[in-house]
Structures are given as C-alpha cells and as structure tokens.
Amino acid sequence: MAAIRCENVLFRYPGESFALRLPALAIDSGEALGIVGPSGCGKTTLLRLIAGILQPAAGRIEVAGECVSGLAFAARQRFRIARIGLVFQEFELLDYLDVLDNVLLPYRIASVLEMDDAARGRAEALLESTGVSALRNRFPGELSQGERQRVALCRALVTRPGVILADEPTGSLDPENQARGISLMRESAAAAGATLVMVTHDHDSLDGFDRVVALPEILDRSEN
C-alpha cells in the first residue's frame, strides 16, 4: 500500500521559469526512500508539496490516504502537524525554548493534538533513545550540531507520524555525524513503522535505504 502517491503534479513558482512536472511517484508504507539530484532540480519543492506547504497548480498528491493537494491552507497545516514529521537542514529549533519544549512544539501549536502525559512520556523516551535526555533543559544555542539534529528528529517523531520528510537533514554536519544522523533517522523511522523520505544531493549517504530515486529521471521534460 502506498503511503504517498503523486500523480500528474505540476507546480510553478510565480514569476519564475522553474516548473516541476511529476507524472507519477508512489512510496510504499514503511519504505525508506532517498531522492537525489543536483541543486535546483526540485527536490525541496517536491518535499514541500508532499508536506502540503506548497500546493500544486494541477495533479493529485495523497499522503496516508488523504488528498493533501485538495485541502485548504488551514486544513493542510493541521494535517501536516498531526500526521507528518519534518526534519529540516537547519533543524529550525526555537532558540527561546529548551530541548524538551522544542520536541513538544507540535502539541503547543496545533489544537488537534492533545498535550497529555502520554505525549510528554513519548518526548522523554525519544530524548533518551537518541542520547540527549540529559540535555532536556538546555537551549538550542548550547547544543552541538549533532545534538540539534537529534532534537529535531525527536520533534519529528513525537506525534507518531506515519510519514517523515527530511530535507538535507545532515547537510550542516561533519561526515562522522552525517553518518550517525542518517542511521539514527532510519532506525527511528523503522522502529516507529513510519515511511521515510529524504532528499539529498549526496547519493553516498543513502546506503541501506530501500530505494533511491534520481529526481531528474522521473520528471516530465516535454515542456521547456
């Protein structure tokens, strides 16, 4: 069963010549998929379309059985916070919140999620499993890049999402921490039974993924 399905997707940025045309892409439930390609080919754009941050001009995008591309802005936002875990290259942690509150952020910004003892317990357990439990009361500015990456991963997993989307999540890490971060992300997604989609320009970082797709090879180039 496909956790993510894209069909005849067309997206253009207003006032720009760039256009992404994707005839078809299906990602199985529980699959770890890597998407590679050079800068500017549309990797981040595709991830943002799947997340519902962007909306296509045409086509259909389904995530966990929901037609995300057909939802209004507020509904897409609620769906994304509740059902999708996002890990960004710069991690996007809030400097004024400590580690634990950064992990629990989805519960503070989405009324559809209930902040209860179970949520707090999951946050604590994730921090423990990723080796940063002792840092729960520290602030992002006090953390190393590798520690920030692990906190961002905990935040992506705390809502128990069925889909995790990672946009060059280890690009700012040194090679040793890159390998550790990707392994941690894969292991955590597998343990949660989540589908993992990671975009990167570095094909070598995707060893062990179930499948790797070169984005330029699956795009429709029939129009200029």
DSSP string, the chain: -EEEEEEEEEEE-TT-S-EEEEEEEEEETT-EEEEE--TTSSHHHHHHHHHTSS--SEEEEEETTEEGGGS-HHHHHHHHHHHEEEE-TT----TTS-HHHHHTHHHHH-TTS---HHHHHHHHHHHHHTT-GGGTTS-GGGS-HHHHHHHHHHHHHTT--SEEEEESTTTTS-HHHHHHHHHHHHHHHHHHT-EEEEEES-GGGGTT-SEEEEHHHHS--S--
Q: What is the pLDDT of residue 171?
A: 73
Architecture of domain 31-44+72-218: 3-Layer(aba) Sandwich (3.40)
Overall pTM surpassing 0.85 (yes/no): yes
Q: What is the pLDDT of residue 223?
A: 55
Q: What is the pLDDT of residue 176?
A: 74
Q: What is the pLDDT of residue 222?
A: 65
Hey, where are the domains in the chain?
31-44+72-218
> Tens place of pLDDT for every residue, the chain, 224 residues?
789 999 999 999 988 888 999 999 999 999 999 999 988 899 999 999 999 999 999 999 999 999 999 999 999 998 998 889 998 877 889 999 999 999 999 998 877 778 889 999 999 998 998 889 999 999 999 998 888 888 988 998 888 889 999 998 877 677 777 777 788 788 888 888 899 999 988 777 888 899 999 999 999 876 54
Q: What is the pLDDT of residue 224?
A: 43
